[in-house]
Structure 1
C-alpha cells in the first residue's frame, strides 16, 4: 500500500493518512482516512465535483470528536487522482457510471485498512448523485446522509433545453471535450470573492479553500466539459425515475442553495421511507463548511442517525 501526499496543515487535521489506490480499470485514485481510537463506525465521505481529500479534514475532525472515523476519496478526474483529459483543468469523465468503480474502491480500501464498521455514507453535491446510485447497487452502508445532493442541476428554465441540446450534439460533432458554456479553466475559489461566492457564509472556511489550492495547485479544477454535463444531466434524469431506497437517510439543504436543484431534493425526500429533509436556514451550497452553528447542527444530526438508525425508520 503506497502512501500518497496529504497536507494535514491545510486540512486542519493532522491525523489523516492518504494512499494511492488503483482501480480495476487502471485509474489511480487518492484515498485519505482519519482513524479514531475506539470509533463506533466509519463515515465514508463522497466529495463533490472539483473537491479533494483535504477539503474533508475539518469534517473528519467533527466526526472524530463525536466518535467516528472517516474516509474520503479523490474521484477520477479531480484532486490528485488521475486526470482524464489532456487539459487537466477540464472536469471530465468517460461515463458517470465510472464513478461507481471508484466508490467500490473506497469501501474496499476501508476494509483493507481495517476501519471499524458499520460504515455510514456522507455524500455532497456530485457525490450525492454517485451516492444515490451506489445505494441502488447495495453499497454496504447502514445509513446515508446527503449534503446538497446533485439530484438535479440548477439551470434557468430557458437555458435547460440549450444545455441538453448542446451537450448532446457535442459528442457526435466532436467538441464534447470543451468547457460547458460559462465555464473556464480557473478554479472557482481563486476567481470569486467571498462576498459573491455561492459556497459558504463562513469567511474562514472560504479562505481555507483558497489556502488549500494555493498550497497544492495540482488540486485545482476548472469547469466541466460538455461531455461531463451531458453525463450528469442523464444521470440525474435516470435517478429521478427510480423510487428511493430503503436506507435510513438524512438530507441537508441550505436555504441559499444556488448550485443544485432544491425542487428535485424536496421531491425525492418527500417519498424516501425512513428519510428526513433538514433545511438549514442561512446555509449556502457547502453546508459542511458553513458557519459553526450550521456545521454543529449537521454533524450532531448525522451522528444521532448513525448511533440509532431505527429512529428515522419509526
Structure 2
C-alpha cells in the first residue's frame, strides 16, 4: 500500500472546506474547519493539533483523509490559532490548566459526534496527542480508534529528572514569572529560529508553509509557552504516571514517534505503549523529526499508510 497523492495548495483553504467558530461551554470562541466529504462517508475524523499549532499547518493531511471519504474536522485549541489568546502578550502560549482543554474537548466531542456519521476516530499530534490520551483516561470522549503523532506523553528534559524540571517550573511561577515566556524564541530552550525548521521537519517546503501562513494570517502565530504552561504540562504528564491509568484504556491506539525527536520523549512513548492494552507503534529514527505528518514523503507516506490500515482494522466503515 502507498499513500495516494493529494495535490492541494497548502497555502490556501480548500474550496470544499468550511471555516467557522464554535462556542465552548463557557462561551469561549473555538475556531474549526470541516470537510463534508463523500455522499456516503467513510466515517468522521477529528484532528487535534499540537502546542502552538493552527490547523492551516495540516491542510494537506486533512485533505488527504477527506479524499478517502472521511468527514474531517479540526479545531484550534483555546489560546491558540484564532481561538482567542489568554494573556496580554498574545505571543505567549498559555493555559490556566490542561483540564480546561479536556473540558473543551469533552463538550465539543458530544456535539460533533451527535451530528456526524460513525465510526468516529481521532488523529492527534504532540500536545494534542497528550490531551487525547488524557481524555481517554478521564472518559471525556469515546473514539472507535486513535492515532497519535509524536504524542507529548513525556518531554525532553535535558537529561534531568522530570520532577526536577517540574520543581524549577514551580519556582519560576512562585517568583512571579508564571505569565512570562519560558524562553525567547523557537520551540525549545536555547534554540534559535534558524534551526527551528530542523527541529520540526526535514521537509523545507512543508516547514515554510507555516511561515507563509504567518504572513497570510499573522494572528495565528504563537511563540514559546509561559512558565505556567510548562508547570501545568509537566503536572499533566505526571498524572498519566499513576498506576492503572493507561492500563484501563481499552481504545485501540497507534503511537507514531521518532528517536530523533528533540521536543517529546520517545522513550516515554514506547514505555507508555506497553502499558496500553490495545496499542501499536511505528517508530522512526534519524530520518524523521518531530512533525511526522509534515515530514518528507518517505516518512509521511508511511504514517498515512499505517494510519489508514489501522483505521480500516479498528474502525471499519459502517
Query: TM-score per shorter chain, which class?
Result: 0.7 to 0.9
Rate the CA distance shift 1:93–1:196 in 2: closer, same or farther, 3 A.
Answer: closer
Shift of 1:82: 1.2
Q: TM-score, normalised by structure 2?
A: 0.87
Superposition map of 1:225-240 within 5 A? 225-240=226-241
Shift of 1:159: 7.9
CA contact (8 A) 1:47 1:124 kept: yes
Which residue does the alignment assign to 2:209? 208
List gaps (5 residues or longer) in structure 1. 1-7
Cα distance in 1 for partners of 2:314, 2:130 equals 22
Rate the CA distance shift 1:310–1:196 in 2: closer, same or farther, 3 A.
Answer: closer
Q: Secondary structure at the match of 2:45?
A: strand
Q: Secondary structure at the match of 1:86?
A: coil
Cα distance in 1 for partners of 2:147, 2:74 equals 14
List gaps (5 residues or longer) in structure 2. 1-8
CA contact (8 A) 1:43 1:69 kept: yes
CA contact (8 A) 1:183 1:224 kept: no
1:48 maps to 2:50 = yes
1:168 maps to 2:170 = yes
Shift of 1:106: 3.1
Rate the CA distance shift 1:135–1:160 in 2: closer, same or farther, 3 A.
Answer: closer
Instruction: Give a deviation string over 1:246-278, Cα, whole Å, max 9, x none.
Output: 111111012321100111101001222221110
Q: Secondary structure at the match of 1:170?
A: helix
Rate the CA distance shift 1:154–1:45 in 2: closer, same or farther, 3 A.
Answer: same
Which residue does the alignment assign to 1:3? none
Tell me the number of residue pairs that the alignment of Structure 1 and Structure 2 aligns: 299
Rate the CA distance shift 1:290–1:20 in 2: closer, same or farther, 3 A.
Answer: same
Which residue does the alignment assign to 1:296? 301
Which residue does the alignment assign to 2:148? 146
Instruction: Return structure 1 stretches of 4+ with deviation > 6 angstroms.
Output: none
CA contact (8 A) 2:25 2:104 kept: no
Which residue does the alignment assign to 1:223? 224
Rate the CA distance shift 1:250–1:141 in 2: closer, same or farther, 3 A.
Answer: same
Q: TM-score, normalised by structure 1?
A: 0.88
Rate the CA distance shift 1:161–1:115 in 2: closer, same or farther, 3 A.
Answer: closer
Aligned equivalent of 1:258, options 239, 245, 262:
262
Superposition map of 1:1-314 within 5 A? 10-11=11-12, 13-37=14-38, 38-111=40-113, 114-138=115-139, 139-158=141-160, 163-180=165-182, 182-184=183-185, 192-193=193-194, 197-241=198-242, 242-244=245-247, 245-281=249-285, 282-309=287-314
